[in-house]
Structure 1
Amino acid sequence: MKKILLLVGFLSYTFSIAQSIKSPSEFLGYELGSAFSRHHEVVDYYKYLAATLPDQVQLVEYGKTNERRPLLLAYVSTAENIKNLENIRTEHLKNTVGQGSPDKAIVWLSYNVHGNESVSTEASMQTIYELLTNRKSLLENTVVIIDPCINPDGRDRYVNWYNENKNTPYNVDPNSKEHNEGWLSGRANHYMFDLNRDWAWLTQVESQQRLKVYNTWLPHVHVDFHEQGVDAPYYFAPAAEPYHEVITNFQRDFQVTIGKNHAKYFDKNGWFYFTKEVFDLFYPSYGDTYPLYNGAIGMTYEQGGSGRAGLGVLTRIGDTLTLKDRIAHHFTTGVSTVEVAAGNAQKLNDEFKKFYTDKNHKYKSFILNGHPNKLNALTKLLDLHQIEYGYATNASIKGFEYSSGKIKNLKTNEQSLVISTDQTKGTLAHVLFEPNAKLSDSLTYDITAWSLPYAYGLEAIASETKVNSTINNRTNVNPKSSISEDTYAYLSDWNSMQDARFLADLLKEGIKVRFTQKPFSLDGKKYGRGSLIITKSDNRNKKDFTSTLERIALKNQTALTPTSTGFVDKGNDFGSSSVSMIKKPKVAVLSGAPTSTLQFGEIWHFFEQQLQYPVTVLHDSKLYATDLEGYDVLVLPDGWYGSFLNSDKQKELKKWVKDGGKLIAMGGAINGLEGKDGFAVKTKEVKKDTTKTVALQTYDESEREGIKNLITGAIFKTKVDPTNPLAYGYSDSYFTLKLGSDSFDYLKDGTVAYLEKNTTPVAGFAGSEAKKQIAETMVFGVENYGRGQVVYMVDNPLFRGFWENGKLFFVNALFMVN
């Protein structure tokens, strides 16, 4: 009897704690929705909940951002489930190999991936409070994982900006400053990367750290909370076409089930919403598609608002949209999602098991050959995704050849990489490697091609039969044994980003490096254009030359070949004019209003985190020759330069280039240079056929007609001049990811990569008129101008940081073009 009384007392005590926890408003000291919470205040509330209800809330810091803000996950459930959390997780993961018998639903809610879509973090606090109080019955057979803020750096950038610029009280006039962020908006992370497009490519620290934890859970349901334009009603599942063909019928149907449950609450409140439009399920690197390709019900929820909304804003129809309204909507769909999952736990478990055990993909194996550095770069990405791979034997494999688009044979050896779709992550592997994903609808929200063999510049075959492979513990060449005081020079190949990082480190350490502009042979080995030559005589005044070289080679796993002579077997000797010294360039990149924040971020991240070479960020007010003195290279990111590059700036920029500067113009920056006296670049003009009559079309047909002029991220095979320094390390062809139909005529001299007359993409969608527009146009080119050069990059080789095979073009523009 005493034990029963003690138990009743304990339950009563636990219940009273649950009832007495502070709401977000009570804890923060202001009504939720009346102000934006800074990230540290949100963290404090989650810490408070975990300390007050440790048996129901487990708080884990899974990483830190570039600006050292913590990344958190809150595990929320009943006391019994939290106590057995590890057993629940492991039993759930057994389902991926068809062995588990779990009975709990795992729901993962991700908030604020875009920093200035700031309502969702506020809503997360109200959601966790509701689950711990009024709706705690939903937790009995559900584990809810809450990431309150995926992008703390972007969120605080927006919140701090808003708090500095808002009216008091807030002003609903959309023209007020508080509704108009500047160039450096809060949407992206520290490096101006869109984290919602980085799930598959994992270029950012937030994505890398998050995926480590995500892979330990692989939830049944994942929701990514967003905001859209101020005037848009709320969007929730089901999504729009195209759906990728690997998405199962159950995943489609359950989106409908969840959507109908949301609609029930929205209808009751008279709130407007839409489904099955705009937001599709195709591109694999979103917060809804990536979970789908890993067996979850992945969904995006979009609330009207974003950085324009502030605490309240007037909409086009004269309504006022407040932060409190936005919180209410995201809170409702969040709890509704948990409600549906809780009521369908067994079904979710059964279908999750089917997803992983009922695979029937067209391609059973992907086999890749290529330079070891490129293969190593790819395997690093596969490791992050926990995609298994092995190595082939000496054989000949038949399948779809990526480079030709035909069925051919590929000769393999023990270095050939094999990725099978007969593995736990087989569906994800199929999506990332398939040659050309099938489109059910050409109207899409993002790029339509991404196949990794093209992105990494590898020779590949997709086989419809399973290819046997073995684990090959390859060891990297240790350059230590190659270093000697008696060596005349050290030689290194030039093929990959690994080689580029090696060069960057040498230059930073003050080691002088030459490169060859012509192929040569020495001691029975062939060296291609761009190969690095590091001579003892060039570095005779460098203290600790050999030990520094050895350390840098070891760090970059670079194989150095020593030679005792500069007299080559075939080609030009090391003293020839075709062997040039590489200058250590001082590089600047333009930032500010005329540039795209996202492409500026790609360049900034490339220098600091990928190449690891110093770069100066110049504000747009500094684009004058006097400010450019002392810089060897200026990078103009993609953007909108029309009014910015006025006659005075043009004159100053031309003078700087003519005096020996190197200008790298990317995307829209080329338009800003075009037509200005002295620069040769020119937009291609397509003559219209005036003999054709204009076909009338309905209003509904006009949108479909418009896609004829679009290229939605398609892959094209280009021709390359490998003798040009911009193309050192490349063969005579290159697969480029084209993001639009902007096109420029061939340069008279210096067209390096280009499209020929037939412009059908090897993967992805391109409209019929767009294909005509880009036919016979330049992709990359170099123009000599006075003592300097202008490098034109029509396509973006640094796009989202994942197009690995394009990056050497950019490096060549920095170091080889002179």
Structure 2
Amino acid sequence: MLANLFNSAQNKPFSLVNTLTLAFTLSVLTFGTYAGNSAIGAPLKIAPDHGGQSVQDYLPKSVSYNPAIPTPESVLGAQIGEWHVRHDQLVSYMKLLAEKSDRVSIEETGRTHENRPLLLFTITAPKNRSNIDNWRLQHINAMESGDKVSNDAPLIFYMGYSIHGNEPSGSNAALALAYYLTAGQGDEIDALLNDNIVLFDPAFNPDGLSRFAQWANMHKGKQLVSDSRHREHDEGWPSGRTNHYWFDLNRDWLLLAHPESQARIKQYHKWRPHVLTDFHEMGTDSTYFFQPGVRSRKNPLTPDQNVTLTEVLAKYHAAAFDKQGQLYFTEEAFDDFYAGKGSTYPDLHGSIGILFEQASSRGHVQSSINGDLAFRDTIANQITTSLSTFKGALANKAAILDYQSDFVEATKAEAKDDDTVGYIVGTSHDAGRLSAFVSLLEQHHIRYEVVNKDNKVGEHTYQKGHAIYVPTHQAQYRLVKSIFSTQTSFENNTFYDVSTWNLALAFNLDFDALDKGQARDVKRTEQASLVQLALQDIAKDAYAYGFSWQHYYAPAMLQSLLEAGVQVRSSEKAFTALQVDGTNITLPAGSIVIPKGLTQPADLHQLLAQAQIQLQVPVLSFSSGLTPSGNDLGSRSMAPVKLPQIMIVGGQGTSEYEVGEMWHYFDTKVGLAASIVEQQNVSRALSDASIHYTHLIFPSGRFHFSENEISQIEQWIKAGGVVIGQKSAIRWFADNNWLDVELVSRETIDNAFDESTLTYADGRALYARKLVAGAVFEASIDTSHPLFYGYQNNTLPMFKTSNMIVKADSSPFVTPARYTQSPLMAGFSDTAMVALMADTTAVTTNKLGQGIVIGFTDNTQFRGYWYGTNKMLANAIYQSHFIQ
């Protein structure tokens, strides 16, 4: 054709028109056009195509598909992997499949913080639909009794995808897998669905998935960019890994701080599946990981047989990848220890939880040491291991069915042999923390009884109606042992995540492990309820009102009143007041007083009544300002509390987890609307005359402020501002001379470890010994200090997630909290690190001009469940005016 064109041109008189015509024709033939020839001059794609592909290209060729079931591309208008699927698109397709397929029932199990639906498919052969509930009940009964089930009993799979939103290959693979399960035809599908049930959860984290899909799609050009430095692969802050409040939902299976986890755990206990899958992504230069992982790094309460069965299933994953020539690894890297992860929580319940980790393209295509990694290839690998999970489980169905009955019997035997027969837990001062703890037990189906007679165990006195007894001899024995563990020594001291999650310590509750003799003395009943603090009749003719600061929700009560325009006072010291009924009541330092003699809202009585009911914080009515003991209600020690205006410093360089935890606490536990301001905007925010910030909070991070901006912040503090920092922010405070502290150097830590007998191969183990990867340390606290108002005991469990060690002046006016001489309470920390931590600073303060600088060595809001240290941050907001 080209020769004909040249010949044709040569036979015509030369002209510019002919030349341009020939050039245009050659350019079209040589370089092509854009799709549909809608544009001129687009280059022909010579490079490899890294776009999507049709659903059937992802799926086995041995299966035929029902043409009546719509394909994902017919609904999305694009092939799988061409674009990152948004959650709303995923939902639309799943709902359409439920309409078109008689194999599927769909259930909305809950809603995310951003009001996205959480969906669960139940998939089985149509003939089984009327029998699903019977199958489920028979299975649950067998799990409770330990009875052997017949070999034709159904296997129950729980297939879950993309709990980290920026690890989207799982949820995108779910599109193809849902089509496979609903449209597939033939022996392979019949073997799976005729006698088994597949629970299908296409998106564990809808909010994060949607955030990341938007990021990846908005940076996609017609020419895909594989450069790892390209903006598409360098995700903005906050990342899509997390949920709405920037929490890692894969750490929330046990803690249940979020609706996504609460809905999932409810379904888990409804079904108790035999196999649960958890699909993730990891670094781009990796290959593909599947468990069993390192046997010595499993949770010690997970039976060895669980790992053995996981190894059996791993052979099917390996065979599938071997056939494709795919690279993979197993029995290394990831642990299976923390009970709050998706692959470990099921293991403690008799399921086989399996972690899958796919190298991430973090976009549509990214270069790696293994060559260009396309998004569609990451999707294909997740599909491969989903199908190999089905294949391996069906081939070993009898062994898996037997395992669950063996698990139940083994659990009963271990409980029977355990010298600890139960735990007693309680507090008489704060119904809020104890109620939240009990709610968590109930969601995990942990049985407990209410103590109905006062008991003294060791140093603790447990009051009737304010304590519970948790027996170990119950179906949840393994989880009970896990959440009360104070273990500090482990077979393998390398942890991918935290090494302890003792919930009683997290909630700062008194607890004791009981043997048979001690347990006999504890009178309890399953029928009784915890005693709630009695709500008071609020007297309209009172002189003043008040409430104790000891209650967990006292900060929320105070915030609600301040927002309503109520004038309040907080007490610097304990006092005894006369109530309208003629009785005296003693209130601790920090308690709140609402004098009626000040200008108050006309509906004050109604405001107090509503807040008392909503927050369950008793409001007291005082008959006089003259107190029987302590300062009078009009004393200068009764200081006004102003409505706070809080700025949390966020943005690139700061920890999105810690910012999210602070935001979550203020937003959901206190009812305070905090401003999150990115670093580069802090100076402008402080200069804005329309907003007067009272508190500035720095999470961990790397801070990049100019000298002028630092000077501006310092002047703001000196003018009366309160600045709060935690973890690495303390280092930045010290560099700016806002805190007079010394941080122990890395060299000092290195010198605490003897390397003389080590080899090169010991390097990683030595590094792990120097870490503090989630352990509980005991601090001695000064309850007379404003940062510890509302606390009763002089010690407090604190959660450490770093080996940062702070040393400050030991003066009680500067250091109200120090780690004790033997601080390790639970979890792993090397003896050398514990020795370095002993008697060092946990909390420090400094007066700077008229303002205050506060430093918390550790995270006071860790993962939204560390209720015991929440009030430290609340005190830094509402009681900081008392700090001298």
Q: TM-score surpassing 0.5? A: yes
Moved more, 268-277 or 425-434: 425-434
| Alpha-carbon distance in 1 for matches of 2:751, 2:825 | 31
Task: After TM superposition, give the deviation of residue 787 of structure 1 in Å.
Answer: 0.9
- SS of 2:357's equivalent in the other structure is strand
Letter in 1 for 2:117: P
- SS of 1:388's equivalent in the other structure is coil
Instruction: Report what 1:83 is aligned to.
Output: 130
1:472 aligns with 2:528: yes
Task: After TM superposition, give the deviation of residue 99 of structure 1 in Å.
Answer: 6.9
Conserved 8 A contact 2:573-2:637: yes
The match for 1:750 among 792, 809, 814 is 814
Conserved 8 A contact 1:715-1:736: yes
The match for 2:176 among 107, 126, 132 is 126
| Alpha-carbon distance in 1 for matches of 2:739, 2:71 | 63
Task: After TM superposition, give the deviation of residue 650 of structure 1 in Å.
Answer: 1.2
Instruction: Report what 1:9 is aligned to.
Output: none
Conserved 8 A contact 1:599-1:637: yes
Q: Tell me, which stretches of 5 or more residues in structure 2 are unaligned?
A: 1-62, 578-582
Instruction: Report what 1:155 is aligned to.
Output: 209
Instruction: Report what 1:322 is aligned to.
Output: 374
| Alpha-carbon distance in 2 for matches of 1:216, 1:90 | 9
- SS of 1:207's equivalent in the other structure is helix
Letter in 1 for 2:624: T
Conserved 8 A contact 2:453-2:524: no
| Change in CA separation of 1:180 and 1:647 when aligned onto 2, cut-off 3 Å | same
Instruction: Report what 2:350 is aligned to.
Output: 295
The match for 1:490 among 545, 554, 575 is 545
| Change in CA separation of 1:42 and 1:691 when aligned onto 2, cut-off 3 Å | closer
The match for 1:338 among 345, 365, 390 is 390
Conserved 8 A contact 1:244-1:439: no
Task: After TM superposition, give the deviation of residue 20 of structure 1 in Å.
Answer: 4.4
Instruction: Report what 1:144 is aligned to.
Output: 198
- SS of 1:449's equivalent in the other structure is coil
For residues 71-470 of structure 1, the aligned pairs below 5 Å read: 71-98=118-145, 101=149, 103-132=153-182, 133=184, 135-136=188-189, 137-240=191-294, 241-305=296-360, 309-317=362-370, 319-359=371-411, 360-361=414-415, 362=418, 363-370=420-427, 371=429, 372-394=431-453, 396=455, 413-436=464-487, 439-465=490-516, 469-470=524-525
Conserved 8 A contact 2:454-2:463: yes
Conserved 8 A contact 1:431-1:437: no
- SS of 2:349's equivalent in the other structure is coil
Letter in 2 for 1:322: A
| Alpha-carbon distance in 1 for matches of 2:564, 2:401 | 56
| Change in CA separation of 1:504 and 1:255 when aligned onto 2, cut-off 3 Å | same
Letter in 2 for 1:390: E
Conserved 8 A contact 1:64-1:70: yes
CA shift digits 1:204-246 (9 cap, x unpaired)? 1211222222221111111110000001111111022322221
CA shift digits 1:755-814 (9 cap, x unpaired)? 24x344111111244334433321112211111111111100101001110001010000
| Change in CA separation of 1:608 and 1:559 when aligned onto 2, cut-off 3 Å | same
| Alpha-carbon distance in 2 for matches of 1:497, 1:353 | 42
For residues 629-640 of structure 1, the aligned pairs below 5 Å read: 630-640=692-702
Task: After TM superposition, give the deviation of residue 473 of structure 1 in Å.
Answer: 2.4
| Change in CA separation of 1:461 and 1:678 when aligned onto 2, cut-off 3 Å | closer
Moved more, 322-331 or 696-705: 696-705
Conserved 8 A contact 1:309-1:321: no
Conserved 8 A contact 2:243-2:249: yes
CA shift digits 1:522-568 (9 cap, x unpaired)? 34432211112122113x44111111111111111122222211222
Instruction: Report what 2:4 is aligned to.
Output: none
1:41 aligns with 2:89: yes
Moved more, 497-506 or 293-302: 497-506
| Alpha-carbon distance in 2 for matches of 1:594, 1:657 | 22
Conserved 8 A contact 1:675-1:682: no
Conserved 8 A contact 1:242-1:439: no
Moved more, 544-553 or 803-812: 544-553
The match for 1:557 among 616, 624, 627 is 616
CA shift digits 1:174-218 (9 cap, x unpaired)? 122221111221111111111111111111121122222222111
Conserved 8 A contact 1:131-1:335: no
Instruction: Report what 1:57 is aligned to.
Output: 104
Moved more, 425-434 or 452-461: 425-434
The higher radius of gyration belongs to: 2
| Alpha-carbon distance in 1 for matches of 2:161, 2:142 | 27
Q: How many residues align?
A: 787
1:658 aligns with 2:723: no
- SS of 1:43's equivalent in the other structure is helix
1:667 aligns with 2:727: yes
Conserved 8 A contact 1:781-1:793: yes
Conserved 8 A contact 1:24-1:45: yes
Question: What percent identity do the matched residue pairs reach?
Answer: 29
| Alpha-carbon distance in 1 for matches of 2:655, 2:168 | 21
| Change in CA separation of 1:112 and 1:16 when aligned onto 2, cut-off 3 Å | closer
- SS of 1:215's equivalent in the other structure is helix
Letter in 2 for 1:149: A
Instruction: Report what 2:783 is aligned to.
Output: 722
Task: After TM superposition, give the deviation of residue 696 of structure 1 in Å.
Answer: 6.1
Task: After TM superposition, give the deviation of residue 447 of structure 1 in Å.
Answer: 0.7
Q: C-alpha root-mean-square deviation of aligned residues, in Å?
A: 2.3
Conserved 8 A contact 2:238-2:656: yes
1:626 aligns with 2:676: no
The match for 1:570 among 619, 626, 629 is 629
- SS of 1:497's equivalent in the other structure is coil
Letter in 2 for 1:648: N
What's the TM-score once normalised by structure 1's chain length?
A: 0.92
CA shift digits 1:627-654 (9 cap, x unpaired)? 485111111122122xx13322210110
Conserved 8 A contact 1:489-1:535: yes
Conserved 8 A contact 2:485-2:500: no
- SS of 1:762's equivalent in the other structure is strand
Task: After TM superposition, give the deviation of residue 250 of structure 1 in Å.
Answer: 2.1
Moved more, 589-598 or 649-658: 589-598
Conserved 8 A contact 2:566-2:600: no
Moved more, 339-348 or 557-566: 339-348
Task: After TM superposition, give the deviation of residue 728 of structure 1 in Å.
Answer: 0.5
Task: After TM superposition, give the deviation of residue 682 of structure 1 in Å.
Answer: 3.2
Conserved 8 A contact 1:226-1:302: yes
Conserved 8 A contact 1:108-1:219: yes
CA shift digits 1:105-134 (9 cap, x unpaired)? 111011011111011111112223333415
| Alpha-carbon distance in 1 for matches of 2:345, 2:571 | 44
| Alpha-carbon distance in 1 for matches of 2:368, 2:617 | 59
CA shift digits 1:632-684 (9 cap, x unpaired)? 1111122122xx13322210110000001111112222222222245423323
Task: After TM superposition, give the deviation of residue 619 of structure 1 in Å.
Answer: 2.4
| Alpha-carbon distance in 1 for matches of 2:564, 2:124 | 54
| Change in CA separation of 1:547 and 1:755 when aligned onto 2, cut-off 3 Å | same
| Change in CA separation of 1:694 and 1:211 when aligned onto 2, cut-off 3 Å | closer
Conserved 8 A contact 2:488-2:828: no
| Change in CA separation of 1:779 and 1:35 when aligned onto 2, cut-off 3 Å | same
| Alpha-carbon distance in 2 for matches of 1:609, 1:692 | 43
Task: After TM superposition, give the deviation of residue 714 of structure 1 in Å.
Answer: 0.9
- SS of 1:472's equivalent in the other structure is coil
Task: After TM superposition, give the deviation of residue 413 of structure 1 in Å.
Answer: 3.4
Task: After TM superposition, give the deviation of residue 300 of structure 1 in Å.
Answer: 1.0
